[in-house]
Each structure stands twice: as C-alpha cells, then as structure tokens.
Amino acid sequence: MPKMAVLVVFGLLLSLAMVCNGGITSTFVRKTESTVDMPYESDAFQIPPGHNAPQQVHITQGDQEGTAMIVSWITPDEPGSSVVLFWSDKHKTKKAEGKAKQYKYHDYTSGYIHHCTIRKLEHNTKYYYKIGIGQAERTFWFVTPSAVGPDAPYTFGLLGDLGQTFDSNKTLAHYESNPLKGQTVLCLGDLSYADNHPNHDQVKWDTFGRFIERSAAYQPWIHTAGNHEIDYAPEIGETKPFKPYQHRYTTPFKASGSTSPFWYSVKIASAHIIVLSSYSSYGKYTPQYKWLEQELPKVNRDETPWLIVLVHSPWYNSYNYHYMEGETMRVQFESWFVQHKVDVVFAGHVHAYERSERVSNIANNLENGKCSPVKDQSAPVYITIGDGGNIEGIATNMRDPQPDYSAYREASFGHAIFDIKNRTHAYYSWHRNDDGAAVKADSMWFFNRYHHPGDPCKCKDSYFLYHLSKQFVPRNLYSCTH
Ligand SMILES: [Fe+2]
C-alpha cells in the first residue's frame, strides 16, 4: 500500500477511535426566548374556503402491509359527505365511504370527524384523493410505500412533542425542507397541547389539525399516544381518557391483532414498527403486555429487517425532566427488546434531544447488585426526540455528569430522519432548527441488529474498510461499544 494511503487510513482509524468515546453534551447554545403558541388567526391555521369545506385532513397507514390508507378530516358545520374518491395515473377513480362522528368535551362540540379507509392500493404509486362536495371539494395526494421486503429503502421523518408554537412551525418547515425527504412521519406523541389551556381548550385540537395538514394530508403520520393526549379532567366532568385524541386520530390497530388503538404495529417497506402506549397498563397479564408478547416473535427479520419501536416516555433519559418516568415500562419489557434485537427505540416527552449508546440493564434480580446499564450489542439505541417546539419550552436541565449510557444530548428544537438503505445499513441524522435543513447536528450509521450484528468498534478495521470501499465517510459512524 502506498505510504500516503497508509497515512490516510491510519488517520481515519484514529478519528474513528476518537468518535467511539461517545458521551457528548453539546455546547450549542440556542436562543432563549419563550415559546408561545401561534395566534388563532395565524396563517398556519388557515380555514379552507367554501361552505363546510373539509379541514384538518390527515392520513395514516390503514393496514399492516401498506396497501390501505385511512383518510381523516373534519367538516365544521354539517356532516357533508364521508366519501373519498381516489385514483392514480394508471388506476381509474374509485370510491370509498367512511363514517362521521362528533364528540362533546365540557362546553365544546366538535365538528363532524370523518374517517374513511381506502383499500387495495398498489405499492409505490402516487394516488390522488378528493373529499368534500360542491364548491368545497379538496384534492390531495400521497405515495404508497414499496412492497414489504428486506431491501426496500425507505425514509422516515421523526417528530415529537410538536405543539403549535412559532417554534413548532419552524420544526415542521425544517422537516419539510430537509433534502433527505421523509416519506412517512413517525410521530412520538404530544400533539396539540390543548390541555395546557383553560378547560383543555378543544379549539386547540382544531388549530393543530389545520397546522399539520400541509404535511399529514400528503404523507402518513404514524401516531403514538402521549400524556397530552389523555385529556382526563374530572374537575370539568371529563373522565374518559384520550377522548379527543381517539376521536380525531385513528390507527389500524386491528390489523395487528391489537384490541386498542394505542398499541399496534405496521410494516412499511423493510421496517416493522411497533407502537406502544406509556399511558395504558402494561403489567403482566394486561392486554398490552399480552399483545407485545405475541407480537415480537411474529416479526420476520428476513422480511422486515428493521425493528423499530415508538413509545412516548423514554427509558433512557439523562435530563432532569421526566427522569425515570419510563422506568417501570423499561423493567417490564427491556429484556424482550434485547432478546428480539430491536434496532432502535424512539421516544418523545422530554423537550430536548438525546441519543444513547447500545445499552441494556436487565441483569438485576434484586440480590446481585447488577443494576447499572452495560454496553450490549443486542440492545437498541434509544433516541429521545421530544424537541418539536411546544408551548412548554425547551428542557435544559441535564444530569451531571453525563451518564455513560448517553452518547449525545442537546437542548435544542429539531427533527430527525431515519433513512433505511438496505437490510444492513440505515443512516440516522438529527437536524436542529437553528441550522440549515441539510445540516446534521448528530448522526450515526445503524448496522441492522439481525443482519449485521457485529460490534463495529471491536472489528473496526474490516468495517472501516467496508465503509471506505463504499465511500462512506467514517465520521460519527458508530454508537461505540468498547
Ligand atoms: Fe409528554
């Protein structure tokens, strides 16, 4: 090997060893102005023209395999029509009919909330859909994912704790302008923050629905229930948890054998995505426990190599906000995640950003004293991305010193992209709002835990050369595991 090449390789190996130390608390300083909701009359909440025009349009996957879509919208004044007309360049117009319902909450009565599932869609196809009647018709479009398969590339966007402030608007705009082009949003919960307002101001649910329409009407949002979705308020007579959320945001839970809209799974391209509920019971014998117990063995990694879990309350969190709130769920399920080699767990709830090392904490039996997290290549990476920009503001207070399980943390608003390349590699990046949309404030290559389970730091030469041969830049590549 020529001398120059040896020097280059040595230098790159050295930089790799340096990034393998992990444990970064970013020194980036973001602006400190208060985070306030956009006013009701904001352009971001614009009401579409025409009498009783459909508004708050959003879509989510309607089955397990990605050949159905649930279209949801609200007509404000009267029921109107629950029909969806849909077509593509090579498919003639078809019609599906959904249902509309209303709900009451304290002194508020909702508009007519429509949900309509359109089925038998072809994969990897752009469909147009039309809702509304007369002069108030509105047309949108979406692209179905490619067929479920082990090497199907796919790009997910990640948004958490979004709310409807000026910062929320920046986060969504930043995501929309990201050149990596997310195809489906994995939403980590805490949507409108209506419950932060008097009597859980339900109009805030309406403004939030209009705010996200510009994205959610055109690409599916996969929803996770957060604590701000509970809306439990016995002081005003509202004792049915999740009432507004459940009426407005539906999920395809029955398709995965779930008995609740709050925990379910979908397959998208090469990913199997499991959504859990931090705010539904999960102890042994409960419905969620039993569902997850039978769901994990069903995941076929030869069909969907990437096993992704969404949950609202993080299990590994080194901020002083919500510290250890996810602990009981971690104790309940973490050993299963390690056994089944979950690739990554995304959470929200903490209004900041954090990425963990691959760690587990499952050895403790109350007597052996093994109660600290240890590096574990079969464990997921845990990512907290509750930094959408909601009215409660940024979480800045961190535990000091930074614990070993924490690889990178920063108190900034932003979004992330999980970009699956094939069955072995995915590129993950986090984008803070204060940068240009293409700037990656934190990033890492994910090696699939089932198809590429090696420890990159223990055999770094071969991985390193592999990356060189693929012309990947070996910088910030690994969540290290010495
Ligand atoms: Fe939360």
C-alpha of residue 160 to centroid of ligand 1, in Å: 9
Q: What's the whole-number mean pLDDT along residues 431-448?
A: 94
Q: In percent, how much of the chain has pLDDT > 90? A: 86
Q: Is 338 helix (H, G, I), strand (E, B) or coil?
A: helix
Separation CA 328–CA 313 (nearest Å): 11
**CA of 128 relative to ligand 1 center, distance in Å:** 34
Strands of the 425-432 sheet, one edge to the other: 221-223, 184-187, 154-159, 414-420, 425-432, 442-447
Residue among 226, 150, 192, 185 nearest 61 (CA)? 185
For each of the domains in the chain, give its residue range(s) and CATH number, in order of start. 149-469 (3.60.21.10)
SS3 345: strand
Q: Give this prediction's pTM.
A: 0.91
- Name beta bridge partners: 415: 431
- For the question of residue 58 being annotated catalytic, the response is no
Where would I find the H helices in 42-100? none
For residue 278, how far is its CA from the centre of ligand 1 (angstroms)? 10
pLDDT tens digits for 8-67? 444 444 444 333 445 999 988 776 667 899 999 999 999 999 999 999 999 999 999 999
First to last CA, the chain: 29
- For position 105, what pLDDT does the model report? 98
Write down the pLDDT at residue 22: 58
Helix (H) / strand (E) containing 381: strand 381-385
Q: Is the pLDDT of residue 3 over 80?
A: no
Q: For the segment 286-318, what is each residue's pLDDT rounded down to a tens digit?
A: 999 999 999 999 999 999 999 999 999 999 999
Q: Which two tokens stand for residue 416?
A: 């992330």
Name, in order, each residue with C-beta under 8 angstroms of 428's C-beta and a sequence gap of 6 or more.
344, 383, 416, 417, 418, 419, 443, 444, 445, 446
Q: How far apart are CA 286 and CA 410, in angstroms?
A: 36
**Catalytic residue selected from 228, 322, 431, 467:** 322
Residue 319's pLDDT band, with cuts at 50, 70 and 90, is very high
Distance of CA 394 from the midpoint of ligand 1 (Å): 12
Cβ–Cβ < 8 Å for 245, 72: no
